[in-house]
Copies of this chain bind each other. A is one copy, B any other.
Amino acid sequence: MKSSLRQESRTSGEFDLLLDLAAAKGRRSALELALRDAIRAGRLRPGTRLPSSRVLARELGMARSTVSDAYSQLVAAGYLETQQGAGTWVASNAAARPVEEFEEPAPADPRFDLRPHLPDLNRFPRTAWARALGRALTDASDSVFAPGDPRGRPELRRSLTEYLARSRGAVTSPRQLLVCNGFCQGLRLLCEVLRERGARRIALEDPCLFLHPPIVRAAGLEVVPVPVDRDGLIVARLAETSADAVVVTPAHQFPLGATMSPRRRAALVAWAQENDAFIVEDDYDGEFRYDRQPVASVQGLDPERVVYAGTASKTLAPGLRLAWLALPPPLIAAAAVHRGLADRYAPVFDQLALAELIDRGDFDRHVRKMRLHYRGRRDKLLAAIRDAAPQLQPSGIAAGLHLVLELPPGLTEAAIVAAAQQRSIGLFGLATFRHGPFEHDQALVVGYGAPPDHNFDASVTALTSLLVDGHVTAVAAQTIS
């Protein structure tokens, strides 16, 4: 019989029990745990008779009541069975196999992160956010902690209404806003709402964010890919489909970077009006436009036809899971119902913190600061590309956190992306975002938001070296094949 201060293995004639008698909850609990573990591990098999509480208590040097309490607990929990006069035995259904216990390692982030979807997380305003959370937690009435409106906290919907009017030209009201856990949830909810109204097909830009097509399909709708050119979504091609709604990124097409032309914006709204269709305006990075004032949202042109979708994923961080839909009035009630059926409503504290930040002007100040920050990065990146590969014409540079590099003939994005991976450069080709049958140029999507400052220059250099070397590699590969 071994024993130590923390763990003792005690033998009771028939079986070993590893008892942790120093555990907080005392001897009864230790015995209960030890018996449970022995049953689970198969050391005590179904049907095995246990010693009477009197016998086991004597063997373990415990009070009899301690043992019988532990037995009672295990009977209540279904691990043991008992019958007056027949003793106590291990229950027949208690032979649970042990489950696997390993945790797979998280995939390593690339050393040079040029993926387009990430903002500079190093600039997340931790102090301001913690202060806003603290204030919100202090000021909140108790009712804030109770189940609330599926559309989200009224404080945030009020703040967002004003913010969206002044910064994005969106025409909305607290009543029409629905706070969601990121745009993906908003898209899923909208698909469910539209499906309920009879929609069958949702048009998506091709290319678009790779998350969107599976979400539309998960909601039971068909995805209709519509091509994109330098003026944004080709509305004439949309008109050839029988889509019931379309998801667009007019401020800065994702990933190609086009700003939708005025003519197309008008045609898009006209399409929706003529076809009794809805437009979902995914304004994922509308706050970041560099060379002139941001173009106002399409939603302002027809708030009855356009769902405006904004997010804090680029201005603050994706981990917040904070986004919002401005809904045409006929969709409000259904969206609230579907939110209720998905997860009821958004967690409250972060909502209150964002409302605080907006109301105090901190959010606008943060956005302005970040706009300068990203513009500086974009200019640096453009200069480096010009120096290293003057034949390349970066596009989509007017806004957002990424640009597009069309490759000259003979170069494939697959070869460059493969080479990038070997150098631990996070980089996507257009292929990642394609989901339709249309011809596309070979191009790279280069994000400049993600690297922290101390790594930004190195990331840019990693890219330019890759371009220089990649040119050679790719041509060589082509010659061989």
Instruction: Name A's B-contacting residues (CB within 8 A).
Output: 28-29, 36, 40, 72-79, 81, 91-94, 96-104, 106, 109, 117-118, 121-122, 124, 126, 129-130, 133-134, 137-138, 140, 142-149, 154, 169, 171-176, 180-182, 184-185, 188, 211, 214-215, 218, 259, 262, 265-266, 269-270, 273, 292-293, 295-298, 300-304, 317-322, 328-329, 338, 340-350, 452
What are 19 pairs between A and B in contact, CB < 8 Å?
A: A74-B296, A77-B295, A77-B297, A77-B300, A79-B301, A81-B266, A93-B269, A93-B270, A102-B173, A103-B154, A117-B147, A124-B142, A130-B137, A133-B349, A142-B452, A144-B319, A181-B181, A184-B341, A321-B346
Q: Is the CB of A302 within 8 A of B262?
A: no
Q: Is the CB of B73 within 8 A of A295?
A: yes
A258 to chain B, nearest CB (A): 13
Q: A78-B301, A321-B346 are in contact. Are A171 and B40 (CB under 8 A)?
A: yes
Beyond A78-B266, A93-B266, A188-B342, 13 additional pairs, beta carbon < 8 A: A77-B262, A79-B301, A93-B270, A96-B300, A99-B172, A99-B303, A106-B154, A124-B142, A133-B133, A145-B317, A185-B342, A218-B338, A218-B341
Q: A143-B121, A175-B102, A345-B321 are in contact. Are A262 and B78 (CB under 8 A)?
A: yes
Q: Is the CB of A146 within 8 A of B118?
A: yes
Q: Is the CB of A97 within 8 A of B262?
A: no
Q: Which of A148, A182, A262, A320 has the most CB of B within 10 A?
A: A262
A213 to chain B, nearest CB (A): 11
Q: Which of A133, A262, A343 has the most CB of B within 10 A?
A: A343
Q: Which one, B259, B262, B292, B349, contacts A350 given CB within 8 A?
A: B349
In the complex, chain B residues whose CB is within 8 Å of the CB of A76: 259, 262, 295-296
A363 to chain B, nearest CB (A): 14
Copies of this chain held together in the complex: 2
Q: Is the CB of A171 within 8 A of B301?
A: no
Distance in angstroms between the alpha carbons of A51 and B259 in the assembled complex: 27
A320 to chain B, nearest CB (A): 6
Q: Is the CB of A126 within 8 A of B154?
A: no
Q: Which one, B121, B146, B214, contacts A146 given CB within 8 A?
A: B121
Distance in angstroms between the alpha carbons of A268 and B329 in the assembled complex: 47
Q: Which one, B130, B215, B321, contacts A133 given CB within 8 A?
A: B130
Q: A145-B124, A214-B341, A301-B77 are in contact. Are A273 and B93 (CB under 8 A)?
A: yes
Distance in angstroms between the alpha carbons of A10 and B58 in the assembled complex: 98
Q: Is the CB of B300 within 8 A of A100?
A: no
Q: A93-B273, A301-B94 are in contact. Are A146 and B317 (CB under 8 A)?
A: yes
Q: A142-B452, A347-B347 are in contact. Are A341 and B215 (CB under 8 A)?
A: yes
Q: Is the CB of A171 within 8 A of B96?
A: yes
Q: A130-B134, A341-B188, A350-B347 are in contact. Are A121 and B101 (CB under 8 A)?
A: no
Distance in angstroms between the alpha carbons of A184 and B342 in the assembled complex: 7
Please give me the 5 A-B residue pairs with the lowest Cβ-Cβ distance, nearest first. A185-B343, A78-B265, A145-B317, A77-B296, A181-B343
In the complex, chain B residues whose CB is within 8 Å of the CB of A269: 78, 93
Distance in angstroms between the alpha carbons of A176 and B181 in the assembled complex: 23
Q: Which of A76, A145, A303 has the most CB of B within 10 A?
A: A145
In the complex, chain B residues whose CB is within 8 Å of the CB of A266: 78, 81, 91-93
Q: Is the CB of B173 within 8 A of A100?
A: yes
Q: Which one, B138, B298, B346, contacts A126 given CB within 8 A?
A: B138
Q: A142-B452, A175-B100 are in contact. Are A321 and B343 (CB under 8 A)?
A: yes
Q: Is the CB of A302 within 8 A of B341?
A: no
A144 to chain B, nearest CB (A): 6
Q: Is the CB of B96 within 8 A of A318?
A: no
Q: Which one, B40, B140, B322, contacts A347 given CB within 8 A?
A: B322
Q: Is the CB of A343 within 8 A of B262?
A: no
In the complex, chain B residues whose CB is within 8 Å of the CB of A91: 262, 266, 301
Q: Is the CB of A298 within 8 A of B343?
A: no
In the complex, chain B residues whose CB is within 8 Å of the CB of A97: 303-304
Distance in angstroms between the alpha carbons of A341 and B273 in the assembled complex: 30
Q: Is the CB of B329 within 8 A of A347?
A: no
Distance in angstroms between the alpha carbons of A215 and B340 in the assembled complex: 9
Distance in angstroms between the alpha carbons of A79 and B172 in the assembled complex: 17
Distance in angstroms between the alpha carbons of A172 and B100 in the assembled complex: 9
Q: Which one, B218, B304, B341, contacts A99 given CB within 8 A?
A: B304
Q: Which of A78, A142, A154, A303 has the most CB of B within 10 A?
A: A78
Distance in angstroms between the alpha carbons of A378 and B140 in the assembled complex: 28
